[in-house]
Structure 1
Amino acid sequence: MPIEPDLLSASGKPLFFEVANADALGVAAPPIRPGRGEAVRVLVRSLSAMQKEALVASSRTGAVWRLASDEGAYLDGHDAAPCPLSFFTVGMISSYANEILALASQRGIGLRNLTLVQDNTYTMKGSALAGTMTAGARDVDLEAIADTDASADALRALVHDAVVASPLNGLMRGAKESLFTLSHNGRAIPLAKARPVGRPAEPDPGDRIDRAGPGQGGRSALVRRGGPSPKHAHTTTFAGGSLAEHQDRLLHVHAICRLRDDGVKEVEQHLYNPHGSIFRFLCHEAPENGGRGLAPDAASYLSAGIGFCFMTQLGRYAKIVKKALRSYRIVQDTHFSLGGASGGTGEPGAADPVETHVHLESAETDDFARACLDMAEQTCFLHAFCRTPLKARVKVTRAEKTAAPGTRSATSPSAST
């Protein structure tokens, strides 16, 4: 049971909103690099227990979103907001949808009632106290279901090429070792194992995240919690299980993405293991990317997921070793290409290593701060995703042969990309 207060629910703020006072707060993304088309800066702070809030700023669109994350009973959280891994999966499946739709338009392929079904799996093995606990990421399973006159081969080629065109391709191809700076109690300190960014740390976000406010009028709920996720063969971790000092387990996040008539993507996320709640997200691209900006875009969800997951691992490690972090905050930068289809580049998606500036406050030694960073990076599922060469196993299903939404169909062979 949670022993710390549910600050997200008590705040009175929506979980997700577009920030109206970003300029006054001085929140902006870094410049877009040559050869890239997007830069996203994420400021994240810990609230209580496993609750976190972030400001996510896009250089391309200028939009700044406030997003919030929590964990379920498996980490003694309140389950007041989606878990970190769900943000990444939502961003990923939405990015694939962007490229599939853009490429279908370019090839003259009509797609009706497009549904994407995705499964992300991760591993955690080893001992936190011995320093051997390590996260891993596995290949992604993606099924595209559509009513189309195109042949199964044409549909399969479309989805295969769209996966390669996604900016996320840049984090899946090759090993992208993440880069860091570390500040402890307001002082920059040398790193131990982590790789350096190679420039001074970005300033501590301080209280800027807390001072972010929504605009007048607001919008319909951008995220909603449903009931418990269905039990799955992988469902083995329940209350408190993710805080065990020694682990050997598989994590499984499932998502279903559908397109509304107004172009907004609705993504239903199930957390199979550890066992958690269903959350329903809205995702929409900004006008610069062909949408109307009615919800956070794919790149914002992807980037927030990485930052939230890393923050969870900082807090989890401190809990396991029974030492206190008074506060912890990060500034994280991600740099992506535009989509090969949606951005018109005609090239595979590309990305740079994730850069994270870590700001810790504690009564412990600098060596403890370094251990926190190293173990958080080592046990972060999404930094593991970045440093692991991965493929997407693609399956396509013609709509007339579709089983119930969210189930796997064997009507078409899969192909890795």
Structure 2
Amino acid sequence: MNTDIPIVYPLAETPPQAAASAALLAPPGLLTCTRALEGMQKEAVVIDEATQQAWRVLCDEGPWLNGTDLAPFPLGYFVGGLASCVLADVTAAAADRGVPSDDLALRVDIHFTMEGSILRGTMAAGVDSIEVKPAGASGEAVASLLSESLRNGSPVASTLAAHLPSRFLVHVNGEIVDWPGSPAGALSEAGDPAALFEGLSPADNADTSEPLVHKAAEATESEGAVGLKGEQKRSVHIAADVRVRPDGLHEISALCVQPTGSRFVLLASGNRDDMRAPTGAAYLSAGIAFCFMTQLGRYAQIRKLPLSGYRIVQRTAFCADAPSPVETAVFLDSEDTHESNLKMVQMGEQTCYVHTTLREPQEIEVGERTGAAGA
């Protein structure tokens, strides 16, 4: 990963391959095209179907997966994006009530699990709890707005509360392989995004006065590559603090609490019309794609499979009235059998923390007010 290139930046133009990959569905969603780089690094192009704004996003892993820790980890994007989405809902509720939004802040804590054996095919991810707490000086006012927002019309809360098994299409060496589950119909015409990543460049008018994403603090200790063990029984705790800055952008501080990881700061916009930064939904969608990609790579590495390349095209749409499942077209370069490759995709979904979170209904718990959110 070239450390001179920003971790996140707006593209000069929307790649036509990506724009043509999405079916014309309502509501407008997000298209995330992702490829694997060296080690545990991944690269994505996230496109808002409503505005056609495209963002290039880089991802890495911490020491728990022998990553180089140069960019946020997948769950950092997911939990940070979730926090920003909820804050946007609270901000909208505050505007409706005439409550000032200059000190709105929240904290999100999600506890995941990973247990079982990769070799026996029993390893699976789980989610124990999702908790959101008001923060900052306006915590008491935020608590009321938060509960109201989560009950009434929060797109991300409605998505989490629904039963939404993911849908897939699988391509191996350019050939479609029959997927045993529900197909990703919205991506039936999606092409391999490999060429999409060639020649990406930042928009000429991109604001470079401060990075959209940066590492704020290094991990203080390391438990080693615990995520690469073939047998697992462990917990993962991810936290994100988010606040509204004076300029209206959301400042997110995302941290892997267990195992210990570095802290990253992400800037997000509160709505898709503000194109100074990706929306929380864009970061959340990138996190879904990155987490699934990590699980594919981890499975292939542990099983020593002949996987030479892998990419995905993913569509997400967050709507309170009609929550949509995540749809993913998977593109594999592999010398293995179709049966083995299908098993890899199944295990990737089964061990993906985020796909697990979305598969079964999840309730967002509202916790007691915490201290001021910091970033």
TM normalised by structure 2 equals 0.92
Task: Report SS of the residue matched to 1:267.
Answer: strand
| Cα gap change, 1:155 to 1:69, in 2 (>3 Å) | closer
**After superposition, what is the alpha-carbon deviation per residue over 1:37-95, rounded to whole angstroms, capped at 9, x for unaligned?**
x3110000001111000000011122100001010111111111110011111111111
Once the two structures are TM-superposed, the CA of residue 403 in structure 1 deviates from its matched residue by 3.9
Amino acid in structure 1 at the alignment position of 2:82: M
Report if the CA contact (8 A) 1:74-1:242 is conserved. yes
Once the two structures are TM-superposed, the CA of residue 206 in structure 1 deviates from its matched residue by 1.5
Match of 2:282 in 1: 300
Amino acid in structure 1 at the alignment position of 2:99: I
TM normalised by structure 1 equals 0.83
Once the two structures are TM-superposed, the CA of residue 110 in structure 1 deviates from its matched residue by 3.5
Once the two structures are TM-superposed, the CA of residue 226 in structure 1 deviates from its matched residue by 2.2
Match of 1:410 in 2: none
Match of 1:234 in 2: none
Match of 2:355 in 1: 383
CA separation in 1, counterparts of 2:20 and 2:276?
Answer: 20
CA separation in 1, counterparts of 2:71 and 2:234?
Answer: 23
Match of 2:248 in 1: 263
CA separation in 1, counterparts of 2:85 and 2:286?
Answer: 14
Task: Report SS of the residue matched to 2:196.
Answer: coil
Residue 129 of structure 2 is aligned to residue 139 of structure 1? yes
Report if the CA contact (8 A) 2:159-2:323 is conserved. yes
Match of 2:268 in 1: 283
| Cα gap change, 1:13 to 1:349, in 2 (>3 Å) | farther
| Cα gap change, 1:223 to 1:72, in 2 (>3 Å) | same
Residue 90 of structure 2 is aligned to residue 118 of structure 1? no
In structure 1, stretches of 5+ residues that fail to align are: 1-7, 232-236, 338-347, 407-417
CA separation in 2, counterparts of 1:294 and 1:306?
Answer: 22
Give the greater-gyration-radius structure (CA). 1
Structural mapping, 1:13-412, within 5 Å: 13-23=5-15, 27=19, 30=22, 33-34=25-26, 36=27, 38-148=28-138, 152=140, 155-164=142-151, 165-192=153-180, 194-198=181-185, 200=188, 202-216=190-204, 218=206, 219=208, 220-229=210-219, 238-285=223-270, 288=273, 292-337=274-319, 348=320, 350-397=322-369, 403=371, 405=373
Once the two structures are TM-superposed, the CA of residue 176 in structure 1 deviates from its matched residue by 0.5
Amino acid in structure 2 at the alignment position of 1:335: A
| Percent of matched pairs sharing the same residue | 34
Task: Report SS of the residue matched to 1:207.
Answer: helix
| Cα gap change, 1:331 to 1:25, in 2 (>3 Å) | closer
Amino acid in structure 1 at the alignment position of 2:318: F
Amino acid in structure 2 at the alignment position of 1:295: A
Report if the CA contact (8 A) 1:46-1:52 is conserved. yes
CA separation in 2, counterparts of 1:382 and 1:127?
Answer: 19
Task: Report SS of the residue matched to 1:113.
Answer: coil
CA separation in 2, counterparts of 1:206 and 1:72?
Answer: 25
| Cα gap change, 1:155 to 1:114, in 2 (>3 Å) | closer
**After superposition, what is the alpha-carbon deviation per residue over 1:303-330, rounded to whole angstroms, capped at 9, x for unaligned?**
1110010000000000111113100000
In structure 2, stretches of 5+ residues that fail to align are: none
| Cα gap change, 1:201 to 1:273, in 2 (>3 Å) | farther
Once the two structures are TM-superposed, the CA of residue 286 in structure 1 deviates from its matched residue by 5.0
Report if the CA contact (8 A) 1:57-1:63 is conserved. yes
